Amino acid sequence: MGASGAVTRSTLRQQIADALRDEVLAGRLQPGREFTVKQIAEQYGVSATPVREALFDLSAQGLLETDQHRGFRVREFTVADYRSLVEARSLVIDGVVRSVYFGGGLPAAPPPVEYPDCLVSVRRRAQEAARAARGGDLDILIGYDLRFWRELGSLVGNAYINEFLHRLRVQTWVFAVPYLRHAARDRDALWHGHEDLVAAIVLGDPGAVRTVLDDYQNHALGWADRLATERA
């Protein structure tokens, strides 16, 4: 009975964390928004314990900040934070690419070209993400973009690296969402090179992979530069 209760609580904890993360990514919980465990528990009609655990989980992921007197607050990322997240993401991806194609310091993994069947699902995610980006559909793009990178990352075979990169991408989206929802010009410029990356991986062409990833990096940093200029 005790084990079943623990599983139920753990599942509820994850469900609450996922729901709140989706609220932040959808822009319904704005950066700086404050709330308490009691408020969230009443909102979802659950006890305080799984809510508190879920909020601490999101704090550990860098999405929330804790205040001893006020409870929790949605983290406000700065442009400098965003740039640092993008640069950290790029450094890790560079290491993964070197490992896969050139046998770098990470545990060796088979070249992605050996994963044609596994890439079928990744390709579908890429198509949907690219379509949403071109159409400026932010909600659909975020979901498919996160799934695309997570599934693609799983092919490398290092769950710790993949989870770290996923957290960085969630944080970059948390920063970007408030700006993109109110700026049609930027929504039209959403990165949509997902299909190009899959094509390069299928070909097993490290130069083409590097070109697409450089475009991914430059696109994000270029947008950060534009934001910094506009806010100066």
Going along 61-204, which residue ranges are E strands?
64-67, 71-74
Residue carrying structure tokens 């890790």: 92
Residue carrying structure tokens 């993008």: 86
SS3 31: coil
- Model confidence band, residue 116 (pLDDT cutoffs 50, 70, 90): low
pLDDT of residue 22: 92
CB 195 within 8 A of CB 158: no
pLDDT of residue 109: 45
Structure token pair of residue 10: 């753990």
Per-residue pLDDT averaged across 105-113, rounded? 44
pLDDT of residue 118: 72
Per-residue pLDDT averaged across 75-94, rounded? 94
pLDDT of residue 1: 34
- The answer on pLDDT for 69 being more than 80 is no
CB 159 within 8 A of CB 143: no
Smallest Cα–Cα separation from 12: which of 44, 56, 35?
Answer: 44
Residue carrying structure tokens 């904890």: 13
Calculate Rg over the CA atoms of the chain. 19
Per-residue pLDDT averaged across 105-120, rounded? 54
Q: Regarding predicted confidence, which is higher, 52 or 185? A: 52
- Residue 144 CB coordination number (10 Å): 22
Sign, CA dihedral 127-178-153-99, equals positive
pLDDT of residue 88: 96
Q: What is the pLDDT of residues 13-32, one digit of tens each?
A: 999 999 999 999 988 888 99
- Domains of the chain from N-terminus onward: 2-74 (1.10.10.10), 79-231 (1.20.120.530)
Cβ neighbourhood burial of 174 (10 Å; 0-12, 13-18, 19+)? buried
- The answer on pLDDT for 81 being more than 70 is yes
| Distant-in-sequence, close-in-space partners of 43: CB < 8 Å, separation ≥ 6 | none
Please give the torsion angle defined by the CA atoms of residues 147, 95, 170 and 56, in that order, rounded to the nearest 10 degrees.
Answer: 120
- Model confidence band, residue 37 (pLDDT cutoffs 50, 70, 90): very high
- Model confidence band, residue 68 (pLDDT cutoffs 50, 70, 90): confident
